[in-house]
Structure 1
Amino acid sequence: MATIRKQAITSGILLYIGFLIGAINIYFYTKNGAFTEAQFGLTRFFFDFGQNICAFASLGSISVIYKFYPYYKDNLPAKEIDLITWVFCACLVGFFIILGLGFVFENFMIRKFSKGGQLFLDYYFWVFPFGFGLLMFSILEAFSTVLQKTVVPNFLKETVLRIITSVLIALYYLKVIDFHWFIYLFSFLYLAIFLMLLVYIVRNKQFSACFSISRVTKKFWKKMVWMQALMFSGAVISVLGQTVDGIFIGGLVNLSAAGIFTLAQYLANLVQVPQRSLQAISIGALTQAWKDKNVKEVNRIYTRSCINMLLASLFIYGNVVLNASDAIIAFNLKTSYLAGIDAMIILGLVRIIDAGTGVNGMVIITSAHWRFDFYSGLIMILLILPTNYFLIKSFGIIGSAYAQLISFCVYNYIRFEFIRRKFNMQPFDMKTVATLLLTAGGFAIAYWAGSLFHNLWIAIIAKAILFSSIMIAGVFTFRLTPDAHQLLDTWRGK
């Protein structure tokens, strides 16, 4: 757990540096006199459609790396491992299929987005290089994860990507380039960091292209193809669940509403940073633990991840909810973005539920029962598609937030119950209850204290300091997680 904790902290720090840079980017996207809401919404569309291109074009092959790479590592020299080569080939085939379908369904897209998404239609085909770069980067990211080298890809994806975006925003803001060139360059963001990661891996002699079929591939290819088929469906379901809200809002309402929703989602996603870093790092350890039949270690990682991510997510959520409205006004952002605050509050709850159930998805996907990840994902998509469509149509962006809350509650409960019944693992105890009570009490005190100040900046700082102090003191006083004291002892020693 110490290795996981160390990498999680390093990755978490890099993630937050990235989010700080991202916050600066969001500021220029949303401040008065910069980008329009529709232009900001278009950047969200690129990420949503790019993720879907990546999921469909991968043909499920990227997930095979996580499950089967330990068998290649234990049985072959590094130069004879052909798994990554075949994954690259499968993804290239998948991408050209998707590109062809993009031309075939162009008229369909025009009909669906002609009402409020004309700006997206103007740059429709530039989404494909964006998605291709994301696809290529995702392959190397998965390879780095199974090597338990997650810091560099996390740094590139969460920090460097945003730094490059900052440069593009600055060029547009200073009128060096117009919006057309901003989007043209924006579409190559992931290709840029893919090349950086490729250079890093090659220089460290951790990657080599092998086109001969190894004995491990000959032994496991049937299982890999079967898993690939199921994981392809699972990956598509997962990405649709994450992106359908923005796509529906852009199609059913307009790109301006999608831009407002993007800011709400960005603020809510701050809650998810600890989860993202810990999941990426835990998957390698969980894969090895299942291979070694070390169920005790799996249970330990699962239990610790639940309380740690719950504490971290509640800490961030409290600070965001306390100060989001005041921050929009204090930073002179467009007041139209205040319409997304209610959606942000609900989306934040969704992230807490997802984070508070720990690495449940990683536990399932790395186990012998990985097929259940597909089945549970199928249930989620069957919920999230119709609820998003009808609630957005009836209530606008707040409807999407409620749709996610309903769907993710059901989704995570199903996965929690499966792990409890199948592996006899149940991570919650009285410390979970104490964590919720501590957060509620700290939030109430900080909210009351903030209302005593009329100056926005003083109120923001006071609420943040008071709530954070109560949470940190409570963690150590009530010993809510052993990792907190172990970290403190380590830092004292250093």
Structure 2
Amino acid sequence: MGIVQRQGLRNTIISYIGLALGFINTALVLPKFLEPQQLGLTGTLASIATIYAQVAAFGFASVGIRFFPYFRNREAGHHGFLPLLLGIPLLGFLVVTALYFAGEPLMLHWYAKDANALAPYYAWGAVLALFTLLYSIQDAYLKALYHTAFSSFVQDILLRLLIVGGALLYAQGYLSFHGYVLWFVGVNSGIALLLAGYVAAIGELHMRPTRAVLAVRPLRELLSVGGFTLLSSLSGAIIMYIDTLMVGAQVNLAAAGIYQVAFNISTALAIPARSLNKIAFPLLADYWKQQDLDRMADFYRRTTRLNTLLGCFLALGIGLNLDFIYSLMKARYAEGTIVVLLLLGSRLFDGITGVNGLIVVTSPRYRYDLIFNTSLAVLTIILNTLLIPRMGISGAAVAAAVAQVSINLARTWFVWHSYGMQPFTWRIPLILLIAALAAAAAWLVPTFPSLLVTTLVRSVMLTAVYGGLTLLTGTAPEATQLLRTLQARLARR
């Protein structure tokens, strides 16, 4: 088994464990021990640091992966590629840091209601951004070297366990909240240092700069690609974090904490799509290379059906049992119930419209993906500005849902108009009908004195009705075929 296969297998295992840990950590454990304002504060620091680091990096994480093959030569220290990969972003970090501290009065004015809570940690935001930047650059370098499993383990598993450990220390009284924030910054920074140690351990820490690096590929070309990538990655970061930041600024940090937990609960719906996208991306790229649009259209339809099938089931499972999920946290987090339902709806619509975004980004018209992402970011900011002051955290959820639905409709139309492909078959409305019937059956289950018992009975009813109708109607041919195969094996025994 080659290095790519080994690393791919390890990454898959780590990814699934990390996704489960991430959900448990951010949606269940931390809200049990931290107050909404406290969670809002750490979430705000992390969001600021991520956007800060992405601007400073100037797209060089992606540049590293794209251009490293031209520099690859271990004996020559890859022609000084690592110092260049770190140098440009670190120069960018100095510029952004100067702007960050110059803008401190403005930032604290935006967060006027919680300025006293945020001000003591403002400088720590810069520290967190620096190590976030270093981690992302080293992670890109390791991806280019085909050494990805360790960085995935550190980010997806170790970091999450350490953050939970800090929350437990706080809950037991071993750390003050100030100590927990420093712990949070420290473990996020520590993983960058750990990654540097790993790069050194595999013999790839080539830090000697050389002039030869400028002769391999023109610096102007690297900066040009980096600028294009920056716009795309920054749009993605804004889409991911801007609602939490704007809720904190326009309402308060406690509301940001409540919104953040609701957002994290809804991310469970994205787990199947994320797993599918890892397979879909290289497949779609290969279809484009072969100009095999018929197989691509078939893949588009099948993945849309699968996303719809799994998405409806997960959305109903979460939505019907929100009372139980929120009972595991501090009571105030339940104010995010409507937010969860709205975000579940938008994520479900994202799944129902299929892999339209991946088709665009792997197509010859890939630059349109930047237009879509930028439009989504701008629309999200405008809607948040209009709706949060009027509706609070529900306004942020409405903004996210409207923006997500709008951009997915635009992408779906673009793929259909440009390439004659659309993802819908008669099975999609049938799945939605089955989901509605299963939801009604589960909702009619009487409420028991124990929320846990109610949740278990509802979940069994939902699974039985949803799964039974799916198999009886042949809505999921793959599941029907799997059931027949299992029956045949059992009959042979």
TM-score (norm 2): 0.84
Q: Distance in 2 between matches of 1:289 and 1:222?
A: 32
Q: Deviations over 1:23-80 (max 9, x none)?
A: 5xx545333xx432211111211222122113212212233356556xx27x965667
What whole-Å deviation, never above 9, does each CA across 1:381-402 have from its counterpart, x for those lacking one? 2311121012100111101111
Letter aligned with residue 275 of structure 1: A
1:454 alignment partner in structure 2: 449
From the superposition, tell whether residues 251 and 460 of structure 1 become closer, same or farther in structure 2 (CA, over 3 Å). Answer: same
Q: Work out whether 1:213 is the aligned partner of 2:229.
A: no
The one-letter code sitting in structure 1 at the alignment partner of 2:22 is: F
State which drifts further: 239-248 or 54-63.
54-63
For residue 116 of structure 1, give the secondary structure of its aligned residue in structure 2: helix
> After superposition, what is the alpha-carbon deviation per residue over 1:346-404, rounded to whole angstroms, capped at 9, x for unaligned?
01112222233344333333433222122112222231112101210011110111111
User: Which position in structure 2 is the counterpart of 1:157?
Assistant: 155
What is the CA–CA distance in structure 2 between the aligned matches of 1:201 and 1:488, rounded to whole Å?
A: 47
Cα distance in 1 for partners of 2:191, 2:293 equals 37
Amino acid at match of 1:462: V
Shift of 1:179: 1.3
CA-CA distance at 1:423 after TM superposition: 3.2
For 1:103, which of 101, 104, 112 is the aligned residue?
A: 101
State the Cα distance separating 1:422 from its structure 2 match: 2.6
Distance 1:429 1:86, change over 3 A: farther
Deviations 1:141-197 (A, max 9, x none): 445666777665444333222101011112211222211121112113333333445
| Structure 1: runs of 5 or more not aligned | none
- Confirm or deny: 8 A CA contact 2:269 2:311 kept in the other structure: yes
CA 1:334–1:246 in 2, change beyond 3 Å: closer, same or farther? same
Question: Does structure 2 retain, via aligned residues, the 8 Å contact 1:137–1:190?
Answer: no
Deviation at 1:483, TM superposition (A): 6.0
The answer to whether the Cα contact below 8 Å between 1:290 and 1:367 also exists between their aligned partners in 2 is yes
Name stretches of at least 5 consecutive residues in structure 2 with no aligned partner: none
CA distance 1:217–1:297, shift in 2 (3 Å): farther
How far does the alpha carbon of each residue in 1:455-493 deviate from its partner, in whole angstroms, 9 at most, with x for none?
211101111222234444455555555665788899999
Matched residue, 1:177: 175
- How far is the alpha carbon of 1:247 from its aligned partner? 1.3
Deviation at 1:136, TM superposition (A): 2.9
Aligned residue for 1:176, secondary structure, equals: coil
* RMSD over equivalenced CA pairs, Å: 3.6
- Post-superposition Cα deviations, 1:65-124, rounded to whole Å, max 9, x if no partner, equal 56556xx27x96566766666433332222222212111111111222122343122211
Give the letter for the 2:34 counterpart: F
Contact 2:35/2:330 (<8 A) preserved = no
Q: Is the 8 A contact 1:62 1:139 kept in 2?
A: yes
Query: Does the aligned pair in 2 maintain the 1:347–1:404 contact within 8 Å?
Result: yes
Give the superposition deviation at 1:288: 5.8
Determine whether 1:14 maps to 2:17.
yes
Residue type at the aligned position of 2:463 = S
Question: Structure 2 vs 1, CA of residues 55 and 291 (structure 1 numbering), >3 Å: closer, same or farther?
Answer: farther
Q: Does 1:432 align with 2:416?
A: no
Please state if 1:371 is matched with 2:372.
no
**Whole-Å separation in 2 of the counterparts to 1:264 and 1:281:** 28
Q: Which residue does the alignment assign to 1:464?
A: 459
The corresponding residue for 1:249 is 247
Equivalent residues in 2 for 1:261-272, closer than 5 Å: 261-272=259-270
Residues 295-331 of structure 1: CA distance to partner in whole angstroms, max 9, x if unpaired?
56655654444333333332222111111123323x3
**Once structures 1 and 2 are overlaid, which stretch shifts more, 54-63 or 288-297?**
288-297
1:246-395 pair list within 5 angstroms = 246-280=244-278, 282-284=280-282, 286-287=284-285, 290=288, 302-329=300-327, 331=328, 333-395=329-391
The residue aligned with 1:44 is 43
Alignment pair present for 1:30 and 2:28 = no
C-alpha distance 250-96 of structure 1, shift in aligned 2 (>3 A): same
Q: Bigger shift: 108-117 or 163-172? A: 108-117
Separation in structure 1 between the aligned mates of residue 278 and residue 24 of structure 2, nearest angstrom: 21
* Residue 199 (structure 1) shift: 5.1
Q: Which whole-Å deviations, capped at 9, do the CAs of 1:255-300 have from their partners, x for residues lacking one?
A: 1111111221111112122233443554455556655666566556
Q: 2:310 corresponds to which letter in structure 1?
A: A
Q: Contact 2:317 / 2:459 at 8 angstroms: preserved in 1? A: yes
Equivalent in the alignment of 1:57: 56
Say which SS state the counterpart of residue 34 (structure 2) adopts. Answer: coil
Q: 1:302 to 1:55 in 2, by over 3 A?
A: farther
Distance apart, 1:452 and its partner CA: 4.6
> Residues 463 and 399 from structure 1, CA distance in 2 versus in 1: closer, same or farther, beyond 3 angstroms?
same
Q: Equivalent residue for 2:398?
A: 402
Aligned partner of 1:380: which letter? L
Larger Rg: 2
**Seq. identity, %:** 23
Letter in 2 for 1:192: G
SS in 2 for 1:115: helix
Asked if the contact 1:116–1:252 (Cα under 8 Å) also holds between the matched residues in 2, the reply is no
**Distance in 1 between residues matched to 2:75 and 2:283, nearest whole Å:** 23
Task: Note closer, same or farther for the CA distance 1:306–1:461 as it changes in structure 2 (3 Å cut).
Answer: same
The one-letter amino acid paired with 2:309 is L
